[in-house]
Structure 1
Amino acid sequence: MTGLVLVAPVSGDVVPMVNVPDPVFSAGLVGPGAAIEPFQGGLTVVAPCDGTIVKSKPHGIVIRTDAGVGVLVHLGIDTIRLDGAGFTTLVREGQYVTAGQPIVLWNTSVAVEAGYALCSPLIVMGVKPEAVSVIAQAPKVEGGKPFLSVATVDSSQEPALGGV
């Protein structure tokens, strides 16, 4: 498959992966992508692509596209420590979603009050870093609008879908 386009899961400022305030994400250890510094408040997080939910945690959702590519939407940094506070998950594992469909309601004030960064990576798993590029008109992106492009997708590579 070629030409996968991912829409922004939230509205906010575009953040290059190297500037994400987490060494695992910024080093590209989870995979290539980019992040969004979301506007604060109550956010509706949308699916970046069509596919099946393979992992659903309050702070992170992994979607497997029809081509077999894993896409991770990670909401905030260290927000796993909130034990779900501030998040309302709208999807379940095994559910099929379409790009732009609401998947999580996020009250960002809970993360801010706890001292956690809101920076939210969108990661493409199982592809080479050079295949992923930001197509949004930086420095801002609107939720549900084109954000990342994946130039080529090798569906013969099984993405690592753990670690959310």
Structure 2
Amino acid sequence: MLRSLFSRKKKQQEVTILAPLTGVVVPLSEVPDPVFAQQVVGDGVAIDPIEGVLVSPVDGKVTHLFPTHHAIALTSDSGLEILMHIGIDTVKLKGKGFTPFVAVGDQVKAGDKLIEFQLETIRQAGCATVTPVVITNGDVVAEKQVVASPNVHAGQEPLMNVVVKGGTA
């Protein structure tokens, strides 16, 4: 009871999610996979990469790295859970063409290299290279705005601004 009397509301926190890839920004609705296009996994945006390097869009921790290294999830220091899925149907490559530079539990800073991947290997397998970047715990998001220009550079430009809801301390 005393705790509830003395707890203070945390302020909402504004977070900038940087572009994790260099490429062209694409609305999720145009991703050729209904799970992402219909925002089943979460809300966000996608990037069609022109370079095969995925960097961290935020300061945070690696919470999941798929065994095939085609997808990675981070939890930002502000509590946002961000999933980045390199290409569509790339799980069928079974890790071929993907080289991780981090492991689950690693602390990362925005701009740190997470995964290198071979665009040509993905294309030759008949997979789309478009890469969804989604917030999987949308319940903590008070507001989200895509602020990216049509072309972005990995780790250098903002992709989305997000307001994370406050809670109790």
Q: TM-score, normalised by structure 2?
A: 0.85
Alpha-carbon distance in structure 2 between the residues aligned to 1:12 and 1:146: 13
Q: 2:44 aligns with which of 33, 39, 44?
A: 33
Cross-structure match for 1:160 = none
Cross-structure match for 1:54 = 63
Aligned length: 152
Residue 121 in structure 1 maps to residue 132 in structure 2: yes
Cross-structure match for 1:111 = 122
Residue 80 in structure 1 maps to residue 91 in structure 2: yes
Distance 1:111 1:130, change over 3 A: farther
SS in 1 for 2:138: coil
Residue 13 in structure 1 maps to residue 8 in structure 2: no
Alpha-carbon distance in structure 2 between the residues aligned to 1:106 and 1:87: 4
Alpha-carbon distance in structure 2 between the residues aligned to 1:45 and 1:155: 30
Q: Which has the larger radius of gyration?
A: 2
Decide which moves more: 123-132 or 14-23. 123-132
State the one-letter code of the partner of 1:54.
Answer: T
State the one-letter code of the partner of 2:146.
Answer: V
Q: Which runs of 4+ in 1 moved over 3 A?
A: none
- Note if contact 2:15-2:78 (Cα within 8 Å) is conserved in structure 1: no
Q: TM-score, normalised by structure 1?
A: 0.87
State the one-letter code of the partner of 1:72.
Answer: L
- Note if contact 1:127-1:154 (Cα within 8 Å) is conserved in structure 2: no
Q: 2:158 aligns with which of 132, 146, 158?
A: 146
Alpha-carbon distance in structure 1 between the residues aligned to 2:30 and 2:166: 29
Alpha-carbon distance in structure 1 between the residues aligned to 2:65 and 2:86: 12
Structure 1 portions without partners, runs of 5+: 157-164
Residue 68 in structure 1 maps to residue 108 in structure 2: no
SS in 2 for 1:111: helix
What's the % identity of the aligned pairs? 36
CA RMSD of aligned residues (A): 1.6
Q: 1:90 aligns with which of 77, 101, 119?
A: 101
Alpha-carbon distance in structure 2 between the residues aligned to 1:107 and 1:50: 25
- Note if contact 1:68-1:155 (Cα within 8 Å) is conserved in structure 2: no
